[in-house]
Structure formats: structure tokens, C-alpha cells
Structure 1
Amino acid sequence: MQPVNLRSFKQKVRYHQAAFKRFLKKLAKNPPRGLDPLAAKIDKEVWQETDCISCANCCKVMTPTFTNKDINRIAAHFDMKPAEFKDKWLFYDKKSKDWMNTTQPCQFLDLKSNMCSIYEVRPADCAGFPHLAKKKMVDYVHVHQQNIQYCPATYKMVEKLMAYTDAK
């Protein structure tokens, strides 16, 4: 497994992003037969090639959404009341109706090690990111369209999906 070179990754994204988005849009409109098993297969391949800890770009440039369950769990971890936790680290986005981090990179990311300081109790959104192997892949295409610019694993998944579907 190679460490992620974020500079190189960002250059590849700039070069291929439009083609990837067109491909995903087409995929959403007309998903090929066997898409979900193919996505599961590719998911396994991608994680053998992707070193998340060498990257942590999601934690550096994105914010998870925090559910009430997440807030209660993480606040308890810090021995705080949920309201205190929200006041200290989160803001409420009225448009999306989500609780999110006030800062980027994430306040829980150790920038020296790229490790999450609350990994055991991290938000469900973080635990599921980048949502590659969901049961109905076609329902997550819009998420992948967004994440290809942030996540090397998503980028690789879309790249492999294009190769597999073009080969047919």
C-alpha cells in the first residue's frame, strides 16, 4: 500500500474530475446490471491500495454531520453535557439542518500523525466515509460525485468502475 501523495492526487482530480462526473451522471441514469456486486468487489480492491492515515484529507477539508446520537456519545466521552459539546466545537447549519464542525481541519485530527483523537467514538458519518459499498450504489452516486475531489479511495473506486464498465 502506497502512502497518498495529496499534491499528485489533487492534480489527477483536476485533470479527470469532469470525465468522472459525466460517467457518474450516466451511471445514475442507466446503472449497468450487477452494479452493486461490482461496487463491493471494487471496494475490497480500493482498500488494499489506499492508506487513509497517510492522507486524512477528509478530516482536513470536510466536516462530518453530527447526529444527536453522535453528540451524546462524544460529549459523554469528554465527560461533558451535549450542549457544552455543541457550544465548544459545533455549529448548526440552518440550511442543511445539520450539526457540523466549526473548524477545518477537524479539531479531533492530530495533524502530526493524521490520527483521530476520538476514533473509538467518532461520528457515524466519519465511520461510514467514503460510503463506497452501500447496498444500492446508484443511491450514492451524488455522494461519490462530491467526494472524488476529496477522497483518493473514492477517486480510485470511480476510476476502477469506469475501467470495469468500459471493458464490457
Structure 2
Amino acid sequence: MSTVDLEAFGKASKTEFPANKKLKEKLKKTKPKDLDTTFHQLHEEAFREIDCLDCANCCKTTSPIFIQTDIDRLARTFRMKSSAFIDEYLHRDEEGDYVLNSAPCPFLGADNKCLVYEDRPKACREYPHTDRKNMLGILDLSLKNTLVCPAVLKIFYEIGKEYRK
């Protein structure tokens, strides 16, 4: 496993963003039939090299969307009412979704471990979403995640080798 240099990653992800945006548009236009398989294979490879606990950039910089079941589960974990959990930790964003009041995540430990890992939100469980079905349908989200997750940036880089030709 390699150590993640978040400063270098931040620069690289911004530099590569225009090319990754073009790649996303090309993929949406050409609709490759093997896109899910390619993403899933590259997801596995990327996470053999990158350790989330070494990085935790997603937890440091962004907020997951909290659905009601997440809120209820975490409220139970903290032995509080769901409304009290919302009041203390969440607000509604421009789209009306519940998100964290602050970054980094208040549940991120100093060792980059999630303090509520077993009860974490669904969005955290599924992040960075590069092993889901219908990757074509979430390419916009995946492109945004190239700015947050070194693994997603690596996946786009590898896909680009094949599809930017």
C-alpha cells in the first residue's frame, strides 16, 4: 500500500479534471457495454494500492447524504431522538438532503477511523460508488469524486488510457 499525499493529490486532481470531464462526456456518448466491468476491475486494483485509513479525504472534506434510516440508526447509537441528532449534526443542503454541519466529519477519529463505522450512513458504506451497477448513470458523481478520492482519480486515469484513444 502506498501513502497518500493529499496535497499532491489535490493538485493532480484539479489538473486532470478537464481531461476527466472530456472522458466522462465521451463515455456518456459512446456508452461502452463493458463499462461496469471495467470500473469494477479498476476499483479492485485501486483499493489494493490505496488504504482508505491512510487517506480519509472523503471524511475530511465532504458530507454524505443522510437518509432517514441513517439518522434513526445513528440517533439510537447516541441514545438520542432523531430530531436531536438532526439538530446537533445535520442541516438541509440546496437539494433538500440532510448533510453534516461541518467538515471534517465529527465521527472521524484522529487515526482516520470512523467512530460510528458499524452504524455509518449508507452513502459512506457505498463510497466511492465505483463498484456499483450502471456506472454510466453516475458518471457525473464519479467525476466529482475524482476531486475527493485518490482511488477514483486513479480509476479515471486507467479508463482514460483505453477510451481517450
TM-score class, shorter-chain normalisation, is over 0.9
Alignment coverage as a number of residue pairs:
165
Match of 2:22 in 1: 22
Q: CA RMSD in A?
A: 1.2
Note if contact 1:108-1:117 (Cα within 8 Å) is conserved in structure 2. yes
Provide the secondary structure at the position in 1 that maps to 2:138. Answer: helix
Provide the secondary structure at the position in 1 that maps to 2:148. Answer: coil
Match of 1:100 in 2: 99
Provide the secondary structure at the position in 2 that maps to 1:66. Answer: coil
Match of 1:124 in 2: 122
Match of 2:157 in 1: 159
Provide the secondary structure at the position in 2 that maps to 1:100. Answer: strand
Note if contact 1:134-1:140 (Cα within 8 Å) is conserved in structure 2. no
Alpha-carbon shift at residue 166 of structure 1 (Å): 4.7
Alpha-carbon shift at residue 14 of structure 1 (Å): 2.4
For 1:72-151, list aligned pairs within 5 A.
72-93=72-93, 95-110=94-109, 112-151=110-149
Question: 1:11 aligned to 2:11?
Answer: yes
Letter in 1 for 2:64: P
Letter in 2 for 1:139: G
In 2: Cα distance, 1:52 partner to 1:82 partner: 29
In 1: Cα distance, 2:156 partner to 2:19 partner: 10
Give structure 1 regions of 4+ aligned residues with deviation exceeding 2 angstroms: 164-167
Q: Percent identity?
A: 34
In 1: Cα distance, 2:40 partner to 2:147 partner: 21
Note if contact 1:71-1:85 (Cα within 8 Å) is conserved in structure 2. yes
Which whole-Å deviations, capped at 9, do the CAs of 1:127-150 have from their partners, x for residues lacking one?
111100111110110001111111
Note if contact 2:74-2:120 (Cα within 8 Å) is conserved in structure 1. yes
Provide the secondary structure at the position in 2 that maps to 1:115. Answer: coil
Q: Which has the higher strand share?
A: 1
TM-score normalized by the length of structure 1:
0.93
Letter in 2 for 1:27: L
In 2: Cα distance, 1:30 partner to 1:118 partner: 41
Provide the secondary structure at the position in 2 that maps to 1:116. Answer: coil
In 2: Cα distance, 1:33 partner to 1:69 partner: 34
Letter in 2 for 1:37: T
- Structure 2: tracts of 5 or more residues without a match: none
Which whole-Å deviations, capped at 9, do the CAs of 1:3-55 have from their partners, x for residues lacking one?
21101111211221110111111111212231111112111111111111111
